[in-house]
């Protein structure tokens, strides 16, 4: 998909940025998982599960929000990809 959205001269850079952002996302997810800690006073497992449940609800809500935003961006991206493929098929 990246190859269809950018000019051929920038395709390598964009793929590099794609991998950079993927790596950054993995690092951020690791940091976010370390931020949810169980206090020393909380030893029962159900209490610890409640802490993680709240964290997953926050992260899941954020992912859902970004998913809805991406859903509304799909028509715009589809048009751009379609224009790019039509343009490249006319050039060849």
How much is the pLDDT for 67? 92
Per-position pLDDT tens, the chain of length 92: 666 777 788 888 888 988 999 999 899 888 877 776 666 666 677 777 777 788 788 888 999 999 999 899 888 888 877 765 555 555 55
- What gap in Å lies between CA 1 and CA 5, rounded to an integer? 7
Report CA dihedral (73, 76, 87, 19) to the nearest 10 degrees: -10
Q: What confidence tens digit (pLDDT) does each residue in 1-12 have?
A: 666 777 788 888
pTM attached to this predicted model: 0.49
Please, what sign has the CA dihedral across residues 19, 21, 22, 26?
positive
């Amino acid at each position: 998909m990246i190859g269809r959205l950018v000019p051929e001269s920038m395709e390598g850079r964009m793929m590099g940025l794609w991998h950079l952002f993927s790596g950054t996302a993995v690092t951020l997810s690791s940091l976010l998982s370390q931020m949810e800690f169980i206090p020393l006073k909380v030893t029962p497992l159900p209490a610890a599960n409640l802490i993680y449940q709240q964290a997953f609800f926050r992260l899941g809500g954020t992912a859902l929000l970004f998913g809805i935003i991406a859903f509304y961006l799909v028509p715009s991206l589809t048009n751009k990809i379609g224009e790019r493929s039509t343009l490249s098929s006319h050039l060849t």
